[in-house]
Amino acid sequence: MSTTGTALRQAVEDAARTAASDEDDDVGLVARAARGEEVLLDAAWGLADRRHALPMTPRHRFATASGCKGFTALAVLSLVADGTLTLGTTARSLLGDDLPLVADDVTVEHLLAHRSGIGEYLDDDADLAEYLMPVPVHRLVSPEDYLPLLDGHPTEFGAGERFAYSNAGFVLLSVLAQRASGVPFHDLVRERVLGPAGMTSTGYPRSDALPGDAAVGYVRVDGAWRTNVHHLPVVGGGDGGAYTTTTDMERFWSALLAGRLVPDDLVAAMREPRPTGDDEAYGLGLWLFDDGTVGLAGEDTGVSFASRHDPATGTTWTVAGTTAEAAWPVARAVREALAG
């Protein structure tokens, strides 16, 4: 192992112990970092399934929460590439009479950049131990199932005026993509993103029928650890919920930046910084950082996930945890160790 890999492993081991002390020893964690063909770190800690005491392994699938907004963005941009949509296509042109409070000038580009101003259906600042979904979660399978959730929320600001992170915007993108293409959203993502990237272990399994190699998310409810199956949509959608692996995320970044998913001009548009008012910038479906890295991240009940790629060095790292907080000490340790 290289000197960088040795230092990285030590820093991450310390951070994993911190995460375990903050949660408990069974919290599941997975972390991987690679620079080109050189694997710097490939490790896992804790349990993937508390009920069966199954250890987490580096090859386990894990939930991404909002981390898969990048998949949604690429599915939509693939429709831009083939002329089915444009960045200027309005949501109204595909919604018809649905969601009348979505302003007529909201475009695909506004939605991709979190600058649409549409009303939010989900409070990102709420206590994740609460049952936040306003309808029974088993009903949320297809994008069209979300229309009652998206309806009735007044516009918060004019389209394009500013950045406001929006789960509703990415759910709406999944509705638009499905209607424009005539292809079910999950099939569209598989055909346009996951398949071309070679992400064979990534998808949208039902939370009540997870494959055996999928890690289970947990949340403390009334002092006891419970699975998150009653807290999140039974099938992930436009704003989050896909499962992936650390190695599939390496394939994702490689395919994206090589122009194998959408043409180079659209990759450039995804990476064009748009200020957010915070330290990070946002492009179209991607977080953009001052150090030149691009990233995806997500946090939800029983889920914490971060993945970044540095185009300058070819370094990719991914960290995920089975609680809403577990991944963050490890992700910080990876980021700082790689920065030197």
Q: Which residues are tagged catalytic?
A: 66
Output the CA–CA distances (angstroms, integers) from residue 300 to 47, 171, 285, in the order listed. Answer: 18, 16, 18
Q: How far is Cα 284 from Cα 85, in angstroms, rounded to an integer?
A: 15
Q: Kindly report the backbone phi and psi dihedral angles of residue 43, in degrees, each rounded to the nearest multiple of 5, phi listed first.
A: -145, 160
Tell me the three-class secondary structure of 250-300, residue by residue. Answer: HHHHHHHHCCCCCCHHHHHHHCCCEECCCCCEECCCCEECCCCCEEEEEEE
Q: How far is Cα 140 from Cα 136, in angstroms, rounded to an integer?
A: 8
| ∠ Cα 208 321 319 (to 5°) | 125
Residue 159 contacts residue 111 (beta carbons within 8 Å): no
Residue 117 contacts residue 106 (beta carbons within 8 Å): yes
Record the tokens describing residue 47, joined without a space.
């349990």
Beta strands in 190-236 (DSSP E): 218-221, 224-227
Residue written as token pair 């099938």: 235
| ∠ Cα 291 292 293 (to 5°) | 95
SS3 state at 12:
helix
